[in-house]
Amino acid sequence: MGEKIMEAINGIRDEYVESAGKFLGRIEPESGAGRPGGRRRGWVKIVLIAAVIASLLSLPAYALTEYLLNSPEQAQKQALEEVDRLNELGIIQVNLEPDQEATKIFKTQGQELGLDFFHRIIYPNYHVQLFDGKYKFVTQLDMASGKLQFISITAKADEEDRVYQEENSLPDGSSQTLTRYDNTDDLVSPELTVGELCAALAEYWGFEGYTLSGTENTDYGWDTEAPAEDSLVKDILDGPYITVYFDGDQEGVPMYVELYTVSGATVMSIGTNHLVG
């Protein structure tokens, strides 16, 4: 391995090596011109070799992990088991019976696609979409741990669900009336509190605890204080989402919990990324 790395480094053109050295701060653009070229190139080679070795050492989990999930069939089975686990923890209350013909599962590599782009976990994962007559469940499933990285559940409203109307202003100054359904009880227990939800999510992801934060979103004009631990999750419907930091997660990276209505349905999303955040 060491010989191959050295051969690769020796094959790099001088201008590329020098450019890399300037970028890494080992070579100053002008003042380094008087130094012997061999010494300068030698320094950069050392830096580049160290960088290559560091990169290789930083990827064992990605390259050498024996994945728990290795096929779409395994991914679907695991996704349903994780849904059961979310139900057991009280995070959701969803009875999902997917239609096999409507199910969509495909592999995404690392952080190249969609919601993965901002996620800290670099393992390849399966993007899973499960449908039945009531629910649409979308997630990204870590191939190494089997955990759900992001959760989005849409619950179709029933005729008996409460209907409310909302006035929506249009750009031309006129307004339209939108019909919404409040069927949050198809997604979460009406008694579930914010504190209970965050504690359950911490347990699910294996974090040590959590800290609630205020929510700032200039797109919606939101600048709120952190919600009370005993406030009800259902009350965030179509309002400011929950911003929470988990102890043991990457420092400074928040997670979000959101409930909002769309035409004929209510959606719950949980994960690293907010749709407009």
> Quick check: 122 and 111 in contact, CB under 8 A?
yes
* pLDDT one-digit tens code per residue, 24-54: 444 455 544 444 444 555 555 555 555 544 5
The pTM assigned to this predicted structure is 0.69
Which of 180, 144, 139, 141 has the alpha carbon at shortest distance from 162? 180
| pLDDT tens digits, 241-264 | 999 999 988 777 889 999 998 888
Per-residue pLDDT, averaged over 74-90, amounts to 94
Return the structure tokens found at 192.
């579930």
SS3 149: strand
Distance CA 100, CA 105 (A): 11
Tell me which amino acid residue 21 is. G
Gap between the Cα atoms of 236 and 270, Å rounded: 13
State the Cα angle at 117 between 113 and 121, rounded to 5°: 110
